Amino acid sequence: MINKISCIKKLRYIPITVLTIFFSQHISAQSVEVLKAQLQESYYVTKEFPGILHPRQQSKISFEIPGKVASIFVDIGDDVKKGQVLAELDSREITAQLKQAKARFDLSKLILKRVKDLMVDGHVSDQQMDEANSEFLSAQSQYEFYLVKLDQTKLVSPFNGVVQSRYLDSGTVINSGAPILDVIDSDYVEAHVTLPIAYLDKLNLNEEYEFKVGENTYNAVLTRVAPMSRTGSNSKLAIFQFDQFISPGVVTKLKLKIEENAKGLWVPLKSLSQSDQGLWSLYTIRNNIVTKDLVEIIYFDDNYAFVNGTIVSGDSIILGGASKIVQGKVLDSQ
């Protein structure tokens, strides 16, 4: 199916014929530009839908344990990498507890080894073996517990990103879960666009669609559609993922080429003249005679209109419309 863009390109590149037409007894010869009519069964229009760019990931990160903030190593606007240490708690108490747990663990491991050696020779009972093994497992668990606690004194970035906000400073005593930093994904962004359900039915998941951000054009893939409409309306939220980072929070426009079923043809606006009862007229040449055809405008943009009426394929449309004919007084309308 020929789309709107290709139709317009064809219109622009169809050779425009300059005809010298002689009309008997009325006026002298005059040259006019004509265009061959090409009827089609449908046309494409471009519709724009506004949306907002959001980071694909955004996290208010916090410590899992309470404590005193010892250091915050980043600030607003800093780039961070996944796994990078962003802040630390005062870890002196946990480090001391870890050392105690490590000493107990090492001792229990040594005792368990000795008991096992003695058991081979029959010098210890099964109960003594069980007690040594139980002490070892308990000491091991406690040691691993404080290893985890020590690790939790470090706040790390969950992904590559940019620091959006910083909520606290060093020296603050916090509870677990208190937000320290807000980090947004710096690799990708998403466009959130609310679309009428009628248009969503024309889109396909995992296909690319065109967006305009400022003066630039990008492609983004439709990744998700909200299962329910918002506030009972006939629209749903569609989410499109870009493969690059663009400033979140800015407005973008989704450009959709929608096919509409209607018989007609594209003509330049300059070839149309206003007629009666909301109709328009085109002037064509048939058998070397200028004829006025009535048409209805179905859709138009800056330079072209899609019309239907009494025009048929192959008609030669006079590009200048009535102005070209009236000026030369060459008009034998039927």
Domain ranges of the chain: 4-47+260-328, 48-57+186-259, 59-184
DSSP alpha helix (H) spans, the chain: 4-13, 92-120, 126-151, 197-200, 322-328
Name the superfamily (CATH) of residues 48-57+186-259: Efflux pump adaptor protein, beta barrel domain (2.40.30.170)
Sheet of 85-89, strands arranged across: 154-156, 85-89, 67-72, 173-174
Domains 48-57+186-259 and 59-184 share a fold: no
State the sign of the Cα–Cα–Cα–Cα dihedral 22, 26, 32, 38: negative
The answer on pLDDT for 329 being more than 60 is no
pLDDT (tens digit per residue) in 294-303 = 888 888 887 8
| CATH number for the domain formed by residue range(s) 59-184 | 2.40.50.100
Section 313-333 average pLDDT: 61
Q: How far apart are CA 21 and CA 290, in angstroms?
A: 10
CB neighbour list of residue 304: distance below 8 Å, 6 or more residues apart: 8, 11, 266, 267, 268, 269
The answer on pLDDT for 15 being more than 60 is no
Per cent of the chain over pLDDT 90 is: 46
More confident position, 120 or 172: 172
Of the pLDDT bands very low, low, confident and very high (cuts 50, 70, 90), residue 323 is low
pLDDT (tens digit per residue) in 204-261 = 999 999 999 988 999 999 999 988 776 667 888 999 999 888 888 899 999 988 888 8
pLDDT (tens digit per residue) in 41-74 = 888 888 899 999 999 899 999 999 999 999 999 9
More confident position, 286 or 332: 286
CATH number 3.10.129.10 given to 4-47+260-328: no
pLDDT (tens digit per residue) in 153-167 = 999 999 999 999 999
The answer on pLDDT for 89 being more than 60 is yes
Query: Distances in Å between the alpha carbon of 280 and those of 8, 130, 303?
Result: 20, 100, 16
Section 107-113 average pLDDT: 93
The answer on pLDDT for 183 being more than 60 is yes
Exposed (0-12), middle (13-18) or buried (19+): which is 180, by Cβ within 10 Å? buried
Answer whether 296's CB lies under 8 Å from 280's CB: yes
What's the pTM? 0.62
